Chains A and B, each alone.
Chain A
Amino acid sequence: MIRYIAMVLLAGLALSQTTPKSMVAAYDAIADTILATKKAEHNIVAALLDGHFHGAQAYHSSGQFDKAAAEMALFGNEGDNAIGGIRKKLLEGGHHHHSDAEAKGTYEPGFVIITRETKQNVLKTVAAYRLAKSAGDREKAWKQFSELAHAALSP
């Protein structure tokens, strides 16, 4: 069947020397869908990170520091292991959100928003937050995390 369609297409090309408009339109629509899907992927990860940030903020404000640290760490890891599983599935299917930047080491494979550098900085901040010996130290770590989170989520 595929061979038949290709033959018809090639026959059309041979006659007109141009790709039929219907084929161009179809491929163009698919391209829009691919790009929209990639944008949607970015948006859902941003929403997920936003959820972790606000979760951390709520726990921090209410003095539930262990839970705040957990949310902060999940922010740095761009989601929990369930999200990691989806990332793994996408990678196995050949989808890399930032293939060039991954090759340069900027992003871990499959990560969409959190860069390798941001992840390391967030995790260091989480450790400082968790091990803070005073309220002042904890506030300092929280401020650092807030800055990192805002920078990561800024458009």
Chain B
Amino acid sequence: MQVKRIALYLARRGIVLFLTVVAAVYVTILIANMGGYVDEIIKSEVLFRVSTSVYQNPAYRGLNETALKKLVTELYENEIKRLGFDQPFFIRSFNYLADALTLNLGRALFLSSDSGSRNVRIILMERLPNTVLLFTTTQLILFFIGLFGGLYLSRKYGSRTDKIVSLLAPFSALPGWFYGLFLIIIFASVLRILPYGGMVDIPPPTDRFEYALSVLRHMILPIMSWLIAYSFFNIYTRRTFFLIFSKEDFVEVAKAKGLPEDLVRRRYILRPTLPPIVTDLSLTLIASWTGAVITETVFNWPGVGRLFYEAAALFDTPVIVGLVVIYAYLLAITVFVLELVYAILDPRIRIGVS
């Protein structure tokens, strides 16, 4: 009975999540194709390709001008039909949607990978490790700083460190890239000990160890800028969160019972606060996957955020849709897994109280 209820609940949530992904991807397709503008670009590119190939083909040299033009029109219409452009956008948009949802990401219109490929998947996979390396690392560091700093301060509440952190928290109103500007000025322009940006020295070192060292050197400033920007606020909010929780009645009762402080902290504060913290961590990690457009621009980091920006500026629809669909899937899967875990853990769902 219980298993059936949980399964039913999860199935319903699964369907809803999937529909959300479908809707989000469809909206992206609509926006990215805005006003048929992108179609016009593709059509003119096809016409250009077809006419160059006809006019440069020695086999057609004998033909006169009208015959050549007729041939071009014919080939162009074939090509348009092959690409599916003869159908109205409304129908095509659903073809795009189906392709996107089955992760058939297709080829980019303008962008290409460093290896020269137009395949969206290859372009994406080339950028993804860079972004994960930088931002997932940063987010993990930030998360643990916030967690342990918050726990520590909630114990030392009212101390000098606590006051300093509270005082510094408003500085998180400035985004990471903004601190990046200052760090670049200090460490790259004035002191000249760290690079201005990029991911690796130019030319890249051939030795593997040197290469890794060079990448690490390039990671210092972006990571530092985010840590400066968000650490204090993270610690501050976590501390407040723990403090509010430690005022709950059941914690007071546990203390009144005379339980050791360590046990109270572990079992009565940390355990009930764990689900929101885990949710927070997983969603942050998924979001870190899309990179940070502006930080990557400021530090010239070749990541997914930069790719997103380049694709948006060039209206490279397949790349944009590809990025959104992967992000949407990952987000939906994460949310689903979290709900699965909570469905098993949360007694309200287990026994069917809505």
A and B physically associate: no
Q: Which residues of A pack against B, CB within 8 Å?
A: none
Q: Which residues of B pack against A, CB within 8 Å?
A: none
